[in-house]
Amino acid sequence: MPILTYRDALNQALREEMERDPSVFLMGEEVGVYQGAYKVSRGLLEHFGERRVVDTPIAELGFAGIGVGAAMVGLRPVIEFMTWNFALLAIDEVINSAAKMLYMSGGQLPIPIVFRGPGGAALQLGAQHSQAFEAFYANIPGLKVVAPATPQDAKGLLKSSIRDNNPVVFLEGEMLYNTKGEVPEGEYTIPLGKADLKREGSDVTLICHSKTVAVALKAAETLDQELKVSADVLDLRTIRPMDVDAILASVRKTNRCVVVEEGWPFCGVGAQVVHEIQHAAFDDLDAPVERVTGADVPMPYNKHLERAAKPSPELVIEAVKRVAYLG
Amino acid sequence: MVQPATTTRLDPERLDFYHTLLRQMLLVRRFEEKAGEAYAQGKIGGFCHLYIGQEAVAVGTLAALREDDYVFTSYREHAHALVRGMSARACMAELFGKVTGCSRGKGGSMHLFEAKLGFLGGHGIVGSHIPLAAGAGFAIKYRGTDQVSLCSFGEAAANIGAFHESLNMAALWTLPVIFLCENNRYGMGTALERASAVYHIADRACAHEMDSETVDGMDVLAMYEATARAVERARTGKLPTLIEARTYRYMGHSMADPIHGHYRTKEELEEQKKKDPIAGLRHRLRDDGMLSDATFEAMDKQVHEEVADALAFAEQSPDPDPAELYTDVYRD
Amino acid sequence: MATKVVMEALSPTMEEGRLVKWLKQEGDAVQDGDVLAEVETDKAVMELPARGEGVLRKVLVPVGATVAVGKLVAVIAAAGEDISSVLAEPGPATSERGAGSGERAAPPVPSRSAAPAPSAPSVPTATAPAAAAGRVKASPLAKRIARERGVDLAVIRGSGPGGRIIKRDLEGAAVVSALPARSALSAPGGFEDVPLTQIRKTIARRLSESLGPVPHFFLTVEIDMERAWEAREALNALGEEPRITLNDIIVKVVAQALMQHPECNAWWQGDSIRYFRDVHLGMAVAVDQGLITPVIRNVNFKGLRQIGVETRDLSERARQRKLKPEEYTGSTFSISNLGMLGIDQFTAVINPPEAGILAVGAVTQVPVAEDGAVAVRRRMRATMSCDHRVIDGATGAKFLQTVKRMLENPLAMVW
């Protein structure tokens, strides 16, 4: 199987979907001539032309709304936000227009749009450029929220998101773009709403998504080698709709769980996961569910402070010890 | 400079057209009056923004559009919906929140939609729909058709970011969009002079190298002609236009807002009513021998009946089934 | 908020405790979980823990005093707090019992270790090393496991935070309270309840009327112990520790025989008989002022050496009164050996709800007839007491025959 970067996997997805369906177009800052701020859209302008790969001024609210308007009359836009931090400017269109249009119109106007871009922290970008907002969007009925962790998942999920008839918030990661992984050749998609067991074990469940999948896998390896604790590592892949069945199946097997996420703890994605577990698997829990999240602070600039603010394998291992009652 | 209607003489060949315009304005007027009454009786809940006094704008501009064009408007939209072709029944039933409403009772006064008629809402956040209309314009150009996208908004929306971003991109990419600013001089309770550094809305077009016109919004024919000019520019040249319609609303911002007293005087209101658009067209037609009083009365009576029928329909229609709470959140 | 320290029921059958030692004095700071005192119960010397924190403000019971379960023995409170109202109250009843049996102890329950008087089926109160003033803390999973296995949480010690009972605390946790309806073995084999047939009901009723609550009958057999003796010598000559005793062999033989005669490995339950698939043997041990029966679990799975090790350990701790409740409850059959005290033969009283007990006498050299001549051989007499409601004469006899055969031909154990 070929090895691709996460970035190139996304590029392939865009290319394939734009070939397949002429109503798909890409719009955003620097997507065309610049080849993409993070090079995700490299080569697309040359291949598809200006009509389908549209560079915008810096006007997130404006071009997000243009995307929604185009979707209202039958196109399938892919709107790129340079990062999800800037997308706050556009949040009125994402929520008040895209998410609600179908419902408010009594079912007349589906909005088949994808809003995509990198979310979460990179390295020392500071408080305004490091935010993981999946919980904001996952809260909204009418939106779907996807956060792939690997190149294979990224390609398959982006294709499905583009084909989905609902507005999809697609969260990538600057720190993920260079990661490499196997990507199947030929046509494939991955359905939204299905988690993926990235590692199998029986002593504890680690639930994660996006950048924390690597963190959880690293912790699982150490847990296995040093403490003989074997972990299920469940990659959510889609935040909304959430694959609750997969979560419950794992927790019923292991009886203990640690949720690992990059975002802030208060009302975060993990809070929803914990609710699902305590609600339906109450009698299967041998310990309260633990969360390892980003620190509840704006992201600091200093390198060490930043590292301390992010989830790490060490923090995951500490949490596992707590739920397994290991010294 | 405010453009009056260029038609100095009415054309007898177009009598039906003028009658249609008049009837539409009457329909809007009577509908809004009855909606106001129903709201005061508690039969319509939430917000209700009435268009009384501004009829010439919706009627005049929409008359210049084709069936396959797109119309976007704000929450003061009952007029645009009716003129675009929505039945008075579907409109009133939606105000009443009934399942027979155009949005199945889930939208309400601010979210009327009729996709088949190209009537695309019905939006509650000030200025939020302006980019949507630009997006429809983008799609028109993308597909290579000669459709037009019309966006109606109030003058207060001309101060919000979405307005400027949309005008910039429409001009930059030459999108077939008509930005229709219905300047009724008050953004809720704030007079234009207190909200805008630039009083003449149309002047903002120059910031984006866009064509513009300022039009007497109480004159339905002037509105029609100005829009027809903009439509031509859009269809053939893919050029956007900003039209400022100087108009006036007789009611408060919404049913919850006083008619006068706080932010405008009774005298001002009475003065503006002298330029009533319906009376204006009616008298012109009568003076030119194209409309008798009897005909007008019959027209008004028939409109009253249509509205009464719509009211009865709305009252008797059922509420949505409780299960509809969860429908149409996602499309399969 | 003051915490009342009361005499707790630290064993299933305890009614009063003797305060042996105070480990904290008035005025000492106390944390939740600290050991306040040592209390001698009917079975062992147990620790009395603090269930609150603050200062030990008042000690009400001196060393050596015996206090009924439930009575106030001390008060923990904040340094300046007024505790006069606490001291004035009568001691709280110990009726709040977490997951324990719903009823209070009925009329006095003679302890199970009190032989040889016939004992009524005991209705023990649930005790609570984990139950702090009535509330048992357990994870939802632990509660579910306990419920499924019929384990009484109140007698399990929790190793989680705050004394929370967690899954691993229940691993291997078997029957705890002796109340048949509430307890069950969590052993690998499990059990099966068989409702009484008409004939059994009739026998039970008529025999109970004539002989009292447990209708005993007795079967004696004389066993030739030469081969068993040789086997023991040979095994011990291997030189490995621990050295095994004849008693260890007898224990193993009884277990193996019970596997072949499961009708004897059972409990009488009033409306059914519980037949166990595994064997847990109670070994009567004489202790100061009484008798206690520690239980060796799953004897059918254990080898002689392990049996030996466990027997010695349990006996030692029994004599020191340091057994945990789960170590002296839950046997499916019992053995009493008075051989070391020179008794040739005796009848033991059944420990209800078990169906049988084997009383073993001394091994003596006696003359016997063999092939027409007189030989001197080591012989031992064993008497089995049977509950006639569960075991009939023929059933018991067949079991005893198997015991005899295995002891006389040790390899028959693994036949």
pLDDT in tens, B107-126: 999 999 999 999 998 999 99
Catalytic entry in A29, A50, A93, A129: A129
In this prediction, residues C217-227 reach a mean pLDDT of 95
Q: Which two tokens stand for residue C214?
A: 């447990």
C160, closest residue in chain A (CA to CA): A325
- Using CA atoms, how far apart are residues B285 and B300, in angstroms rounded to an integer? 15
Chain C residues in contact with A284 by the CB 8 A cut-off are 140-141, 144
CATH of domain A196-323: 3.40.50.920
pLDDT band (50, 70, 90) for residue C48: confident
Could you give the 3-state DSSP secondary structure of residue B277? helix
Residue with the bigger pLDDT between A316 and C171: it is: A316
DSSP A94: I
DSSP A58: S
Sheet with C266-268, side-by-side order of all strands: C191-195, C272-276, C266-268
Share of chain A above pLDDT 70, in %: 100
In this prediction, residues C35-51 reach a mean pLDDT of 79
Contact A284 C159 (CB under 8 A): no
A–B CB contacts, 8 A cutoff, strictly below:
146
Give the torsion through C-alpha atoms of A88, A91, A92, A97, to 10 deg. 160
Q: Let me know the angle formed at the C-alpha of B209 by B203 and B212, rounded to the nearest 5 degrees.
A: 45
Give the pLDDT score at A68: 98
Say whether residue A64 is in contact with chain B using an 8 A CB cutoff: yes
* Residue A268 predicted with pLDDT over 70: yes
Neighbours of C55 (CB within 10 A): 18
Pairing label, strands A24-28, A53-55:
parallel
Chain A closest CA to C318's CA: distance in Å? 31
In this prediction, residues B147-173 reach a mean pLDDT of 96
Give the pLDDT score at C17: 85
- Using CA atoms, how far apart are residues A168 and A146, in angstroms rounded to an integer? 7
pLDDT band (50, 70, 90) for residue C316: confident
For chain A, positions 138-197, list CB contacts with chain B under 8 A.
141-142, 144, 165-166
Give the pLDDT score at C114: 35
> Do residues A112 and A166 make contact, with C-beta atoms less than 8 angstroms apart?
yes
> Do residues B178 and B226 make contact, with C-beta atoms less than 8 angstroms apart?
no
Neighbours of C239 (CB within 10 A): 7
Helices B55-63 + B277-287 axis angle, to 10? 60
Contact A325 C159 (CB under 8 A): yes
For chain B, positions 260-279, list CB contacts with chain A under 8 A.
none
CA distances from C49 to C64, C92, C124, C322 (A): 18, 17, 22, 16
Query: Mean pLDDT over all residues of chain B?
Result: 93
C-alpha count within 13 angstroms, C-beta hemisphere, residue A289 = 29
Pairing label, strands A76-80, A114-118:
parallel
Spatial neighbors of B127 by CB under 8 A, at least 6 apart, are B153, B157, B160, B161, B162, B163
Give the pLDDT score at B180: 98
- Using CA atoms, how far apart are residues B299 and B19, in angstroms rounded to an integer? 9
- Concerning whether A129 is annotated as a catalytic residue, the answer is yes
Helices A6-20 + A151-163 axis angle, to 10? 30
Chain B residues in contact with A104 by the CB 8 A cut-off are 103, 106-107, 111, 113, 121-122
Helix runs in C4-113, H state only: 84-88
Chain C closest CA to A250's CA: distance in Å? 15
In this prediction, residues C373-383 reach a mean pLDDT of 95
DSSP C193: E
* Residue C348 predicted with pLDDT over 60: yes
Could you give the 3-state DSSP secondary structure of residue A317? helix
pLDDT band (50, 70, 90) for residue C7: confident
pLDDT in tens, B136-156: 999 999 999 999 999 999 999
Contact A284 C141 (CB under 8 A): yes
* Residue C396 predicted with pLDDT over 50: yes
- E-assigned strand segments in chain A: 3-5, 24-28, 53-55, 76-80, 114-118, 144-146, 168-172, 180-182, 196-199, 204-208, 231-235, 238-240, 257-260, 290-292
Give the pLDDT score at C50: 84
- Please give the ipTM for the structure prediction: 0.91
CA distances from A143 to B57, B122, C284 (A): 36, 20, 71
Neighbours of C90 (CB within 10 A): 8
* Residue B8 predicted with pLDDT over 70: no
Phi, psi of A165 (to 5 degrees): -90, 15
Going by beta carbons, is chain C in contact with chain B, meaning 3 or more pairs sit under 8 Å apart? no
pLDDT in tens, A176-223: 999 999 999 999 999 999 999 999 999 999 999 999 999 999 999 999
Query: Mean pLDDT over all residues of chain A?
Result: 97
In this prediction, residues A99-117 reach a mean pLDDT of 98
Q: Which two tokens stand for residue B257?
A: 């807002």
The single-letter code of the amino acid at A289 is V
Sheet with C66-68, side-by-side order of all strands: C45-49, C35-40, C16-22, C66-68
> Do residues B311 and B38 make contact, with C-beta atoms less than 8 angstroms apart?
yes
Residues from C in contact with A at Cβ < 8 Å: 139-144, 159-160, 166-168
CATH of domain A3-182: 3.40.50.970
Mutant choice from A53, A105, A144 vs B, greatest count of B C-beta within 10 A: A105
Q: Which two tokens stand for residue C296?
A: 């060796």
Give the pLDDT score at C188: 53
Give the pLDDT score at C100: 37
Kindly state the helix (H) or strand (E) to which residue C55 belongs, with its residue range: strand C54-59
- Using CA atoms, how far apart are residues B124 and A114, in angstroms rounded to an integer? 23
pLDDT in tens, A303-314: 999 999 999 999
- Using CA atoms, how far apart are residues C212 and C192, in angstroms rounded to an integer? 27
Say whether residue B327 is in contact with chain A using an 8 A CB cutoff: yes
Of B114, B122, B142, the CB nearest to A25: B142
Helices A60-72 + B161-172 axis angle, to 10? 70
Least confident range from A16-25, C131-140, C360-369: namely C131-140
* Residue A252 predicted with pLDDT over 60: yes
- Domains contained in chain C, CATH given: 3-87 (2.40.50.100), 112-194 (4.10.320.10), 199-414 (3.30.559.10)
Give the pLDDT score at B1: 57
Say whether residue B109 is in contact with chain A using an 8 A CB cutoff: no
Query: Mean pLDDT over all residues of chain C?
Result: 79
Least confident range from A259-273, B51-65, B207-221, B247-261: namely B247-261
Q: CATH 3.40.50.920 in chain A, residues?
A: 196-323
Q: CATH 3.40.50.970 in chain A, residues?
A: 3-182
A256, closest residue in chain C (CA to CA): C141
Give the pLDDT score at C183: 38
Contact C141 A325 (CB under 8 A): no
Residue with the bigger pLDDT between B331 and B7: it is: B331
Contact C167 A255 (CB under 8 A): yes
In this prediction, residues B172-188 reach a mean pLDDT of 93
pLDDT band (50, 70, 90) for residue B239: very high
C165, closest residue in chain A (CA to CA): A286
Q: Residue with structure tokens 């400027």? A: B164
Q: Which two tokens stand for residue B37?
A: 């009454």
pLDDT band (50, 70, 90) for residue C162: confident
The distance from CA C113 to its chain's CA centroid, rounded to whole angstroms, is 8
Chain A residues in contact with B115 by the CB 8 A cut-off are 105, 108-109
- Using CA atoms, how far apart are residues C234 and B135, in angstroms rounded to an integer? 97
Burial class (CB in 10 A: 0-12, 13-18, 19+), A218: middle
DSSP bridge partners of C283? C335
The single-letter code of the amino acid at C21 is K
Chain C closest CA to A59's CA: distance in Å? 52
Give the pLDDT score at C220: 96
pLDDT band (50, 70, 90) for residue C1: confident
Could you give the 3-state DSSP secondary structure of residue B209? coil
Pairing label, strands C216-224, C373-387:
antiparallel
* Residue B184 predicted with pLDDT over 80: yes
Give the pLDDT score at A1: 93
Of A96, A109, A166, the CB nearest to B115: A109
> Do residues C351 and C334 make contact, with C-beta atoms less than 8 angstroms apart?
yes
DSSP B252: -
For chain B, positions 34-93, list CB contacts with chain A under 8 A.
70, 72
Of A63, A65, A72, the CB nearest to B120: A72
pLDDT in tens, B200-219: 999 999 999 999 999 999 99
Contact A284 C168 (CB under 8 A): no
Give the torsion through C-alpha atoms of C296, C298, C304, C308, to 10 deg. -20
Give the pLDDT score at A10: 98
